[in-house]
A = this chain, B = another copy of it.
Amino acid sequence: MKRIGFLTSGGDCQSLNATMRGVAKTLYEKIEDVEIIGVLDGYKGLIYGNYKKLNPRDFSGILTEGGTIIGTSRQPFKLMREPDENGMDKVKAMKNNYAKWKLDCLVILGGNGTHKTANLLSEEGLNVVTCPKTIDNDLYGTDMTFGFQSAVNIATAAIDNIHTTASSHSRVFIVEVMGHSVGWLTLHAGIAGGADIVLIPEIPYDIDKVVDAINKRTEQGKKFSILAVAEGALSKEDVKLSKKDIKKKMKMYPSVSYMIGAEIEEKTGQEIRIMVPGHTQRGGIPCPYDRVISSRLGAAAAELIIKEKYGYMVGIRNNEIVPVPLSEVAGKIKAVNPDSSIIREAKNLGICFGD
């Protein structure tokens, strides 16, 4: 008999339920006697002792459902070692609940922050297996995270729709894509959507290069230009500023696209249109690609539990699911390498990165 806890943490994304279904179906299939509980609203539920029992029926029909059936919340890692407002020791509380619930293992689905805490819990002696969730695809140790491809599809659809409009009106269109610290999502959506200019955090841009690229298109008789801009794109000047100064500078703009748009409008005299699909990129039905990797990751996570092999994230490397030690994952980030072949290929296609 085994008792397993499920926990989803951080920003939600499209294939959380599909992944949990993968773990659950495999556990129910392979273990005679298994009980699954859902820890509610991320680490908050683990700290404050909130959970609900889950039955096979709860996992039926959720393969295609966005969101998470057990809720999620953001619990910054840096506060984990600090007491809460009532002076309670969070780590101790989590360990206590784990013990009280008689868990054999905790399956944690989350991104970078989540994995730091997961590693901490593992180091504190809890049995932990994790799954790589994020639309940002920035988790170290795995080629791909679930949620990413679904988000690419939504961001690309936004760019696609703009294309038909753009071809009739002479304007510059900016689609702002999610991604505060990495540009995977913007890069893939930009290539897939045929964006002319792609600005990502990993490649600080020179606004004059961007303006040149737009003007060159205009000279070639192309009526419009489309920019895919990551939320966290930064200019070569701004990258030197402190976080505080950036925040200050950004204060008058609702987001980075409005600042970039204002500059382009001023320097090119062209009309600017800004689209911010925002949280729509995290939502909706997971795409088949994500459902396949989620199902596989889930099944592989369950295999680790069955083998009592704890302290690992299941990751994807060369199309195979592999266990990656949590200590290798936690605290690192997988960013776009400006010298990588995908960037070279994108530049060959004529995409301007502003560098």
Report which A residues bind B (CB closer than 8 A). Answer: 11-12, 14, 22, 25-26, 28-30, 61, 63-68, 71-73, 143, 149, 152-154, 156-158, 160-165, 167-169, 173, 188-189, 191-194, 254, 258, 273-284, 287-289, 291-292, 295-296, 298-300, 302-303, 317-321, 341-342, 345-346, 348-350
Residues of chain B within 8 A (CB-CB) of A73 are 169
A22-B349 contact in complex given A149-B289, A254-B274, A275-B279, C-beta closer than 8 Å:
yes
B300 & A345 in contact (Cβ 8 Å cutoff): yes
Q: Which of B26, B154, B349 contacts A161 (CB 8 A)?
A: B154
Residues of chain B within 8 A (CB-CB) of A63 are 194
Closest to A322 in B: B341
B289 & A289 in contact (Cβ 8 Å cutoff): yes
B277 & A29 in contact (Cβ 8 Å cutoff): no
| Nearest chain B CB to A348 CB, angstrom units | 4
Residues of chain B within 8 A (CB-CB) of A160 are 64, 283-284
Residues of chain B within 8 A (CB-CB) of A303 are 348
B349 & A164 in contact (Cβ 8 Å cutoff): no
The DSSP consensus for interface residues of chain A is helix
A173 to B279, CA, bound (A): 9
A287 & B153 in contact (Cβ 8 Å cutoff): yes
A161 & B66 in contact (Cβ 8 Å cutoff): yes
A163 & B283 in contact (Cβ 8 Å cutoff): yes
B276 & A275 in contact (Cβ 8 Å cutoff): yes
B164 & A12 in contact (Cβ 8 Å cutoff): yes
Residues of chain B within 8 A (CB-CB) of A275 are 276-280
Residues of chain B within 8 A (CB-CB) of A277 are 158, 275, 277, 280
A61 to B223, CA, bound (A): 13
Q: Which of B28, B29, B61, B288 contacts A156 (CB 8 A)?
A: B288
B280 & A162 in contact (Cβ 8 Å cutoff): yes
A59 to B287, CA, bound (A): 26
Residues of chain B within 8 A (CB-CB) of A154 are 161
Q: A64-B163, A299-B345, A299-B346 are in contact. List 6 more A-B contacts (CB 8 A).
A: A161-B281, A164-B282, A192-B295, A300-B345, A317-B318, A321-B345
Closest to A152 in B: B288
Closest to A319 in B: B143
A163 to B60, CA, bound (A): 11
A275 to B255, CA, bound (A): 12
Residues of chain B within 8 A (CB-CB) of A169 are 11-12, 72-73
A321 & B299 in contact (Cβ 8 Å cutoff): no
A202 to B298, CA, bound (A): 24
A292 to B278, CA, bound (A): 22
A19 to B115, CA, bound (A): 38
A283 to B273, CA, bound (A): 13
A282 & B165 in contact (Cβ 8 Å cutoff): yes
A346 to B25, CA, bound (A): 10
A345 to B297, CA, bound (A): 9
Question: What are 17 of the A-B contact pairs (CB < 8 Å)?
Answer: A11-B169, A12-B169, A26-B348, A29-B348, A61-B167, A65-B164, A71-B168, A72-B169, A161-B282, A163-B283, A165-B282, A254-B254, A273-B279, A296-B341, A299-B346, A299-B349, A300-B341
B288 & A153 in contact (Cβ 8 Å cutoff): yes
Closest to A281 in B: B161
**Taking each of A188, A273, A295, which has the highest tally of chain B beta carbons within 10 Å of its own beta carbon?**
A295
